Amino acid sequence: MTGPIRVVVVDDDPLVRGMLTLMLDGADGITVVGEAADGGQALTAVERHAPDVVLMDIRMPNVSGITATERLRRRPRPPEIIVLTTFDTDEHVVRALWAGASGFLLKDTPPEQISQAVRNVAAGAPILSPSVTRRLMQQVASGGESYEQALARLAPLTARERDVVLAIAQGRSNAEIAADLLMSVTTVKAHVSHILTKLDLTNRTQIALLAHDARLV
């Protein structure tokens, strides 16, 4: 990516929105190009500013973050989306990830970690921190597919593609997968692209969720 990472911040709390904007605008290689107070405004802001990444609150009036995420992912060139949540009280995180979000952040995440998360998703790496992923995956059974359905969806994959799916579910980057499976990063990217097409998914996070549904990890 050339130039700074362009970000739109979406939150119905003006204080939270302002703090995120101030923090991200001061981070190296990141610029906030727009703000929005709900999902409807987010759609307009993305259309106007063409950001690389959207920080999306889930619980908002009018149009929710989940609905906005679903609509944005249907765009020809959608931005990467990180959902913001309190997690302990929000039961919609899994739905947001299945809607196409690239990951999630707790609202009390330290500023430097939020900045790094933006850089990660802009580079194509989902945000599934190990400390929170275990808790998130406990909810997948009620928010995702059944074990049998997940296995059936994975059936068309080749053995090598299943290896890549397992590695993605374990939170490994393309470089780590390439090293583990003795292939080039370009080949890993090709496998990921084929997997997304075969499974009719939009990003790596959804691959990881499906793998957990199928009890591969």
pLDDT digits (tens, 9 = 90+) for 176-212: 899 999 999 999 999 999 999 999 888 888 888 888 8
Give the per-residue pLDDT at 108: 82
The residue out of 87, 112, 137 marking a domain boundary is 137
66 and 156 share a domain?
A: no
14: amino acid identity, one letter: P
What's the pLDDT tens digit per position in 137-152? 555 544 455 788 888 9
Q: Closest Cα to residue 168, out of 129, 212, 204? A: 204
From the number of C-beta atoms within 10 Å of its C-beta (0-12, 13-18, 19+), residue 162 rates as middle
Q: Closest Cα to residue 136, out of 177, 182, 101, 165? A: 101
Whether 214 and 150 have beta carbons less than 8 Å apart is answered as: yes
**CATH number of the domain encompassing residue 184:** 1.10.10.10
The residue out of 97, 120, 137 marking a domain boundary is 137
Enumerate residue ranges in the chain where pLDDT < 50: 130-131, 141-143
What single DSSP character describes residue 100?
T
Give the per-residue pLDDT at 134: 52
Residue 106 CB coordination number (10 Å): 16
Phi, psi of 198 (to 5 degrees): -65, -35
Count structural domains, the chain.
2
The residue out of 83, 106, 137 marking a domain boundary is 137
CA pair distance 128, 135, nearest whole angstrom:
11
CA pair distance 75, 116, nearest whole angstrom:
25
Range of 153's domain?
A: 146-213
